[in-house]
Structure 1
Amino acid sequence: MIPPVRHLVAAALSSALLMLPAFTGDANATTTSRVYAVTLAKSAADMKKVAEFWKPDRLKKADSYTPATPGSQATPTSTAATSATTGLNQIVTVKRPAATPSVEPALPQKNTVARTTGKVFFRFGDTEYWCSASSVAARNRSVVATAGHCAFDPRQTKAADSWIFVPNPGPNGETPDGIYVGASISMHEDWPGKGDYDYDYAFVTVHRGFKWVEKGGQLVMQDVGRLQDNVGGQGLALNKKTGNRIAAFGYPVGPQPDGTRPFDGRTLMTCSGSTSRTVAPARDLQYGVLLRPCDFSSGASGGPWLIDYQPVQRLGDLNGINSLTWNMDAKDRYDGVSSPYFNAATGDVYRHAATRPTPENVT
């Protein structure tokens, strides 16, 4: 879910917001970033094992699964360095380009309307969870953006199991644009290392997509190609000042502070407004970006924030993700949602994910 910020804390912060300076550039001015990379399903055989878990009968129940609710604090001994010794994970030092690279949005190959937003499904232990996410334009045409807590639990220093992305999901488990199994996660090292909500984002490189089809009385996987080719990809906007107009998207489902449930989790919802800076010290959030008004609840975690959104083509530039939800006025409904600030370090994590290779065929 989007972990809520307690209303008493949020209310106390609201008066301080007026004194916080707007962003004027990169909050991380170093020339390199340390990207934490986690292998999920490396080979086609690994991918097929995940696919077998998510057959149609299980996907039909997907909306009854729990919106992800990892905690915000890592255990004292959980560090990226210790976790990296498994051989599946590694810390990669990424050299930053002299100029911030421009990532332009992309339409699908055979359509004039993008369908980039969807849900991710995964497991921690024996429990199935889900979040919101979106396709991002990339060199490998295979990148999904979501919240860090929708891919990696820093309390356990553990990546999610059986991670898949379903763009444009149907209400009864339909997968009209395919199923895309996660190949690897790219994150800033301070998310898995410290549970720092300034870095609660992840870019997941995915395998080619597939659909389940029936042949000879049996379900078999049918390759449908690369994610971006099928649904398009959002652009990426970094180092933006606050005060911009944002359109946020997601699949909220959880209760509001008064216990009501206005959202069903099956319908893609949007809210729009202007951004300001916010902080949440209890979650190590020092450079948060707040969007108001927005009453998103759990389930919307990881959904995209788009700047310069074009509703006809359904494209814009990714400038954040739903991370925390806020009740600033301490009333009956949530009234804000926040994202980590997308800066050059975010771009480094994205570029790592955009260059990861995956097998050419999944069937």
Structure 2
Amino acid sequence: MKRTLAFGGLVATAGLLAAGLAAPAQAAGDVSSDPLAKSGVAALQVVKYWRGENYSNFVNATPYNAETAVAAKHMSKGGPAPDSKPGIVPAIGDEKKSTSKSKNVNLPKTTGKVFFRGSDNKPHWCSATSVQSAYHNMVATAGHCVYDTESNKATLDYWVFVPGYYQGKTPWGIYVGKTAYTHYDYDVYEDGDRDYAFVTVYNGVQVTGWDRVKRQLILKDTGRLGDNVGGQGIAYNQKIGQPVFVFGYPSGTHPDGNQAFTGKTLKWTYGKTFAAKAPAIKGEELQAVKSSFTGEGALGSSWLLKYNNTRRLGYLNGVTIGVSDTDGNNRYDTSISPYFDGELYGVYSAAKNNWSGSLV
């Protein structure tokens, strides 16, 4: 059973919000939270699932494609507007503003893949990113990369985040999801305007061997997620029309059959956001950006506002929830995201102060 946490007035945490930017006076609606791995014992079973048979479930996982493509006839302009003053939460390590610039696009360490078992009992993955939180233990992705909208049970099984994942390698460890947070309207009504999720994760672990006597994995604690790879800031109630970098692992084909991306390596795209609607996914307050990303694998990709190439940090201002071929040439040309407003900040605020702990 899903647990809902009602909240009203919110107070910004000292030192987190930039000077002169106010938190929303009130975030309407509720936050829903659900356990992913309730205990360390349960989390260890999750690690075993992914580590077993030489990481075969990681290697054999396929990109998640649930509710990915949005038909052009279901896309239109218009939509989001700020519901309160704009605000930001600085990235981990970027609390003091850096002004250095670089012409090259240095890929963020914060980005990786979330793996889980779908309703078909097969392993799948989405894109995701580490974000700022009190205990440096939080991941942001699309809501339907956490909540099982196909079978309508609470959450997807065996949920883990692996930053920098590449062909079975887990350079900074495996981070098992502990608790997932999203907006009540997505949890219950699958509202596309609220298709985002924040997940607290346990400390990372690396598997170093197998204890034959105890018949269990030998694990090494790799520490907190944000301490290892950093964490992006959060921006909400921002003006539409600003440029963003989108980072993710697109895979799959375009409608014309072209295999543009493999999903094996992190890719990026860049453009200015514009307002959009997609009633087919109950999205009336969306934002979009021109992008050639295919949908499979790119779900959950991070949209970073004011990305600093030197520090590889910016402000998360969107997550990809779908793609569309808006000009009818059988090539995806647009990615869409919920507009990050005060209600998103309310969900983030409910999640950001929760400790997860270590599995070792």
Where does residue 194 of structure 1 map in the other structure? Answer: 189
Deviation at 1:295, TM superposition (A): 3.0
Q: Residue 292 of structure 2 contacts residue 331 of structure 2 at CA under 8 Å; is this kept in 1? A: no
Where does residue 298 of structure 1 map in the other structure? Answer: 296
Where does residue 14 of structure 2 map in the other structure? Answer: none
Matches for 1:1-363 after TM superposition, within 5 Å: 31-55=27-51, 57=53, 59-71=55-67, 102-107=88-93, 115-125=109-119, 126-155=121-150, 156-170=152-166, 172-214=167-209, 219-359=217-357, 361-363=358-360
TM-score (norm 1): 0.79
1:101-142: CA deviations, max 9, x gaps? 64111249xxx9951000000012412111000000111210
Q: Residue 114 of structure 1 contacts residue 233 of structure 1 at CA under 8 Å; is this kept in 2? A: no
Going from structure 1 to structure 2, the CA distance change for 1:357 and 1:61 (only over 3 Å counts) comes to closer
1:54-87: CA deviations, max 9, x gaps? 1063634535423223349xxxxxxxxxxxxxxx
Deviation at 1:333, TM superposition (A): 1.3
Task: Report the aligned-residue RMSD.
Answer: 2.4
Q: Distance in 1 between matches of 2:186 and 2:63?
A: 19
Going from structure 1 to structure 2, the CA distance change for 1:139 and 1:128 (only over 3 Å counts) comes to same
Q: Residue 143 of structure 1 contacts residue 203 of structure 1 at CA under 8 Å; is this kept in 2? A: yes
Q: Percent identity?
A: 37
Deviation at 1:46, TM superposition (A): 1.5
Q: Distance in 2 between matches of 1:259 and 1:206?
A: 37
Amino acid at match of 2:248: G
Amino acid at match of 2:90: E
Point out where structure 1 has 5 or more consecutive residues left out of the alignment: 1-25, 73-97
Going from structure 1 to structure 2, the CA distance change for 1:132 and 1:68 (only over 3 Å counts) comes to same
Q: Which moved more, 1:28-37 or 1:123-132?
A: 28-37
Amino acid at match of 1:168: G
Amino acid at match of 2:194: Y
Q: Distance in 1 between matches of 2:37 and 2:334?
A: 35
Q: Residue 113 of structure 1 contacts residue 312 of structure 1 at CA under 8 Å; is this kept in 2? A: no
Q: Residue 131 of structure 1 contacts residue 299 of structure 1 at CA under 8 Å; is this kept in 2? A: yes
Q: Distance in 2 between matches of 1:191 and 1:166?
A: 25
TM-score (norm 2): 0.80
Q: Distance in 1 between matches of 2:254 and 2:34?
A: 34
Q: Distance in 1 between matches of 2:235 and 2:143?
A: 18
Where does residue 73 of structure 2 map in the other structure? Answer: none
Where does residue 5 of structure 2 map in the other structure? Answer: none
1:289-347: CA deviations, max 9, x gaps? 01013333310100100000112221110000011101011113110101000011111
Point out where structure 2 has 5 or more consecutive residues left out of the alignment: 1-21, 69-83, 95-105
Q: Residue 50 of structure 2 contacts residue 57 of structure 2 at CA under 8 Å; is this kept in 1? A: no
Instruction: Report the secondary structure of 2:126's partner residue.
Output: strand
Q: Distance in 1 between matches of 2:67 and 2:333?
A: 21
